[in-house]
Chain A
Amino acid sequence: MTITLDSKVPAGDIAEKWDNHRFSIRLVNPANKRKYKVIVVGTGLAGASAAATLAELGYEVEAFTFHDTARRAHSIAAQGGINAAKNYPNDGDSIHRLFYDTVKGGDYRSREANVYRLAQVSNEIIDQATAQGVPFARDYGGLLDNRSFGGAQVSRTFYARGQTGQQLLLGAYQALARQVGLGTVKLHTRSEMLEVVMKDGRAAGIVTRDLTTGEVASHSAHAVVLATGGYSNVYYLSTNAMTCNVTAAWRAHRKGALFANPCYTQIHPTCIPASDEFQSKLTLMSESLRNDGRIWVSKTADDTRPATQIPEDERDYYLERIYPSFGNLAPRDVSSRAAMRMIEQEKGVGPLKNGVYLDFADSISRLGKDTIQERYGNLFEMYQRITDENPYQVPMRIYPAPHYTMGGLWVDYNLMTNIPGLYSIGEANFSDHGANRLGASALMQGLADGYFVLPYTIGDYLADFLNTTPVPTTDPVFVEAEQAVSDHTRKLLDTKGSRSVEWFHRELGKIMLEHCGMARSRPGLEKALSEIPALREEYDKDVRVLGEADDLNQALENAGRVSDFFELAELMCQDALDREESAGGHFRVEYQTEEGEAKRDDVNFSHVSAWEYQRGGPATKHAEPLEFEYVKLAQRSYK
């Protein structure tokens, strides 16, 4: 297929692009909307909000999730908050400042026009969620309260205790449930999408496997939307829920959808350090804790004293020291690497020496325990349940862990992939965050895409297909895709090897964390690129998946997902090797400033790397140049 990367960014002044675009794209008349069918895969924040909104507009919607209910999507776990440019605190925020902070935070590797639109619709998200009954925190006057997140010097983060994602997802889930109740959305739960089906170069539908009965079935529509989340679980241990995976996006990639910036992954600075090899996932401690917690290590290496016995002048509050103006609120990539360097200098704390302290003693004496409890009570409880330590008395131990993936399916300004009729929204696409995402901006982006962008831009594509019926599922393209799914399942079950899927996943995770994690180098990436295919070959020969295809079979589900992680892992390393600069979450040790900060190469790498799948060979790269008209490119500084 010949590929032209057209970002379709509208002309005009940045503040007017979205308005102009909405005016110029074609609309579908309300009475005609019901003649179109749209498939939405994924019912997290992005998918649930899109499915509900499309149905409200009148489209016929079919939604799919592998969870047992839409309310379980991983979005539920988001803790800290959601950004918006409301400027309620009157501290100088504006759409332009949110735009600017996001482009800068992303280390100048995002598309300006997309980010501006995101900042523009951010305010409507807060209005919408509040009207749905999302119980955002309020002050004693009954008005909405804000806090600060990393990478910003204003308070623009709206929050609902430490459960913002839960409450926002419940809002979107309820909006979706309302449409399901009205019969305008058909929701398939415990149903996993395993193929995107194409006909004449366009998306025609999907093939799913019913996770309870194993039934493989086809579904066709005028357009398909993938809202299937991020791929941090390629590292095995991450803060993501156990079932998060790349399969939907990857199967689309194999059908020709470009995968953009796969190496842009985010390591979150504040997670509970691993305690042992059997650990199945890492738990995030929300970044909001950095509003009131101070990060430090001992000034002496290998200090074995308990935290409370290390006197004040022997502590190194290293973020406050190195980045005085942002201090403990330096962006995630910067804070994570600083922690990594402390551990490299043997200053790590805790039994495995794999953490740094996050200390609330000062805040508790300044604000009182009650205030701290009010702000973070549930996080403190969670910490104590996991570690058996009381953070009101001893500092928390934290360490960076894989958390979020900025990379994803390439999409244009309309959120359509390069495959006509195939859209991608939420964490699954690559848009808006460049090389590093700021805290509280993922919820904003997922809901912006789902509530306010996709439901409008999709009309422009659909307008061409009035009075056409979707491709029938008896068409050979569907029959072949179903066969491919059944064959893959059969192959996994028939391998009958000697090692479990988890074993392979853990090994893959170790390679990725070591060579394509917080710091990357040419020799390391080359090593990974020889180790991953070898491990994958072994996987193909030696994985053991028991049970049947026509039954609930969790090992089988996982085996399919891990197959895709193997291929993704290779592409991530290839992309990381190709990008000979450091930017945001992508840190190549060869490219750093004298102070050890990421050093970009704007001459050669100010572009999006969008990779095209090649069967049996390395992927090929297409570059979308990035132009900066409104934000001046600069070396990021948080000093």
Chain B
Amino acid sequence: MDLKLRVWRQGGAAGPGGFKEYDAKGISEEASFLEMLDIVNEELTMAGEEPIAFDHDCREGICGTCGLMINGQPHGPQQGTATCQLHMRKFNNGDTIVIEPWRALAFPVIKDLVVDRSAFDRIVEAGGYISVDTGSAPDANLTPVPKEAVDAAFDAAACIGCGACVAACPNSAAQLFTAAKIGHLNLLPQGQPERLTRTAAMVDTMEEYFGSCTNHGECESACPQGISLDYIAQMNRDYLKAQLADLRRSGQK
């Protein structure tokens, strides 16, 4: 199939950016979206133009490195699918495809389609863990965990940290990402001792970088892992508790 691409090209965070048009000719339907870009890049290289910079790695939808705004949709038209798992059979011959980086103040553009998502790491560093030093763990079967609880924790833990939720949000909020991390840990017995302090620290850090949530729900539909908005409700509940509870007497400080 033959396609027209309108691709965002930008030198650096401060540099001006703009769209450039490229032809992608003779692309197989079996190719993945990123393989299509590989082909375009090889042609650009041969023509003496610097290839389009884009982030990617596993190409299996699990590392969360890839992430492109495709025709205005984070990760493109296929629900529950990261950019690298999108295949060209989802497009039609002759289509024009607009490709942009994630756009959010907290994700500055590094170059072309590559953005800096390190604000996510700051949120995790603030409390997205269970404090257990190596070697101090009890036997793994000491604490049975109801299967339903593990499954619910897992659904949140499946987050790949790609940032599509932020890119989709009109406010560039990071509620879904933060709630997923908090939900994963707060739903497990192992996560209880730090439940409220964790929630408060992570939410406060999130707010230093990202916008506020106004319940649009765009994040959920953009999420390649289909993470549910319910986790945001749970996070808000825990955050409120953290504000109201006597943390010392509830064993959290």
Interface, chain A (partner B; CB < 8 A):
49, 52-53, 56, 67-72, 74, 76-77, 86, 88, 124, 126-133, 135-144, 160-161, 163, 166-167, 170, 173-175, 177-178, 180-181, 189, 212, 241-243, 275-276, 278-281, 283-284, 382, 385-386, 388, 451-452, 455, 500, 502-503, 544, 546-547, 551-552, 554-555
B214 contacts A by Cβ under 8 Å: no
The docked-state distance in angstroms from the alpha carbon of A546 to that of B45 is 7
Residues of B with C-beta under 8 A to A124:
135, 137
Cβ–Cβ contact A177 & B129, under 8 A: yes
Looking across the interface, which residue of chain A has its beta carbon closest to that of B155?
Answer: A135
Known: A135-B154, A452-B134. 6 other contacts (CB 8 A): A74-B58, A128-B132, A131-B132, A132-B130, A136-B150, A555-B51
The docked-state distance in angstroms from the alpha carbon of A49 to that of B135 is 12
The docked-state distance in angstroms from the alpha carbon of A495 to that of B140 is 56
Residues of A with C-beta under 8 A to B130:
131-133, 174
Cβ–Cβ contact A451 & B125, under 8 A: no
Cβ–Cβ contact A500 & B46, under 8 A: yes
Cβ–Cβ contact B57 & A242, under 8 A: yes
Looking across the interface, which residue of chain A has its beta carbon closest to that of B133?
Answer: A56
Q: Mark B46-73, 1 if CB is under 8 A from A, else 0.
A: 1011110101111111111100000000
Residues of B with C-beta under 8 A to A88:
141
Contact status of A388 and B89, CB under 8 A, knowing A278-B31, A278-B38:
yes
What are the 7 A-B residue pairs with the smallest beta carbon separation, nearest first?
A: A142-B144, A131-B137, A174-B129, A181-B125, A130-B140, A127-B137, A53-B134
The docked-state distance in angstroms from the alpha carbon of A49 to that of B42 is 38
B21 contacts A by Cβ under 8 Å: no
Residues of B with C-beta under 8 A to A163:
62, 158
Residues of B with C-beta under 8 A to A130:
137, 140, 190
B239 contacts A by Cβ under 8 Å: no
* 15 pairs of residues in contact across A and B, judged by CB atoms under 8 Å: A56-B133, A69-B121, A76-B62, A128-B132, A133-B153, A137-B150, A138-B145, A175-B132, A177-B125, A180-B121, A283-B60, A385-B61, A544-B46, A546-B50, A551-B12
Residues of B with C-beta under 8 A to A131:
130, 132, 136-138, 140, 190
Residues of A with C-beta under 8 A to B110:
212, 552
Looking across the interface, which residue of chain B has its beta carbon closest to that of A455?
Answer: B134
Cβ–Cβ contact A177 & B45, under 8 A: no
Cβ–Cβ contact A139 & B147, under 8 A: yes
Looking across the interface, which residue of chain B has its beta carbon closest to that of A281?
Answer: B59
Residues of A with C-beta under 8 A to B65:
67-68, 72
Q: Mark B108-130, 1 if CB is under 8 A from A, else 0.
A: 00110010111011001111111
Q: Is the interface of B mostly helix, strand, loop or mixed?
A: loop
Cβ–Cβ contact B116 & A68, under 8 A: yes
The docked-state distance in angstroms from the alpha carbon of A130 to that of B55 is 32
Residues of A with C-beta under 8 A to B49:
546
Task: State how many angstroms separate the Cβ of B101 from the closest Cβ of chain A.
Answer: 12
* Size category, B interface: 35 or more
Cβ–Cβ contact B35 & A278, under 8 A: yes
Residues of B with C-beta under 8 A to A161:
154
Cβ–Cβ contact A280 & B34, under 8 A: yes
The docked-state distance in angstroms from the alpha carbon of A127 to that of B125 is 23
The docked-state distance in angstroms from the alpha carbon of A132 to that of B191 is 8
Residues of A with C-beta under 8 A to B161:
69, 71
Cβ–Cβ contact B87 & A76, under 8 A: no
Cβ–Cβ contact A128 & B63, under 8 A: no
B146 contacts A by Cβ under 8 Å: yes
Q: Mark B151-170, 1 if CB is under 8 A from A, else 0.
A: 00110011011000000000
Residues of B with C-beta under 8 A to A276:
28, 30-31
Residues of A with C-beta under 8 A to B87:
385-386, 388
The docked-state distance in angstroms from the alpha carbon of A496 to that of B75 is 35
Cβ–Cβ contact B48 & A546, under 8 A: yes
The docked-state distance in angstroms from the alpha carbon of A141 to that of B143 is 11
Residues of B with C-beta under 8 A to A166:
62, 158, 160
Residues of B with C-beta under 8 A to A284:
60
Looking across the interface, which residue of chain B has its beta carbon closest to that of A183?
Answer: B125
B97 contacts A by Cβ under 8 Å: no
Task: State how many angstroms separate the Cβ of B40 from the closest Cβ of chain A.
Answer: 11
Cβ–Cβ contact B30 & A275, under 8 A: yes
B85 contacts A by Cβ under 8 Å: yes
Residues of B with C-beta under 8 A to A127:
137-140
